Amino acid sequence: MTSKSCLKRILVARHQRSLQSLIKHRLQLLPSRRSNTQTRLTKYSQVHKAVTKDGREVAVKIQYPEIRHIFPTDMFTHEVVLELLAIVFPDLDMRWMNEEFKNVLSQELDFRLEAQNGERASRNFGNNPDIYVPKIYHGISSSRVLSTEVIHGVKVTNLEGLEALKLTPKEVMTKLTNSLAEQIFVSGFVHADPHPGNVLVRHHPDMPGRGQVVLIDHGLYRELSNETRIFLCQFYEAATRRNFDQCKSLCDAMGISDWKIFGFFVLMRPVD
């Protein structure tokens, strides 16, 4: 047995003990009737399906016990690497990333913040039937355990699953794109990790035949200032209208030297 596989077995065993302890003493949950309750892995946690004693099916996200202990060491290692890179490549000084990483990752390690983000996003999408955020169960959640409503849907990239739901990729992507636009241009509260694993699709429970996009994993958000949000609205409008003089003027006012490069990142294609 290799040292890597041995370490993996130790970590899995510790996590299983942690799960059993949390279920027995903290969460007051009963194991799911299915033999394998694990549904997905994330960087810092495992997600399990379970059933509460009053019969509700819930998704329980449980942080790995070791994560908080190794986090300071990982951040120190990251800082050392960036310092060395700055010495070897002085024109590529990336030391600012360390504080950014530390702030972002420390937020992701506190599931109470994730719960707050999810509920705020849910309120922001309250008038949009095409977007849904799962309910949070605070009574069986904590800083390292998050219990939410189970969503029965398919991953946004699962074309066979979408076909089974009689939904077209164009319809789904339109809803998802509109949701991102609403976050960036309207609320300024932006889900910063919308990869396919965090985007599910299902039928709207109250509108048969209508597709609904479900956003999960709300640990990482960015809040745009009103100045930034309005700038992005104006720049996007100017770029799509091909008003390049206004694009340059807006970027100059924000201290952005190359408006074409910035426009490429905004539109994901050359502006001109």
pLDDT of residue 15: 57
pLDDT of residue 267: 87
- Rounded to two decimals, what is the model's pTM? 0.82
pLDDT of residue 125: 97
pLDDT of residue 22: 55
Q: Which of 173, 189, 170 lies closest to 125, judged by CA?
A: 189
As averages over each run of 10 residues, the pLDDT of the chain (272 residues) reads 55 57 50 52 78 84 83 87 90 84 84 96 96 94 91 95 96 96 96 93 93 95 95 95 95 94 90 82
Residues taking part in catalysis:
193
pLDDT of residue 254: 95
pLDDT of residue 13: 57
pLDDT of residue 34: 47
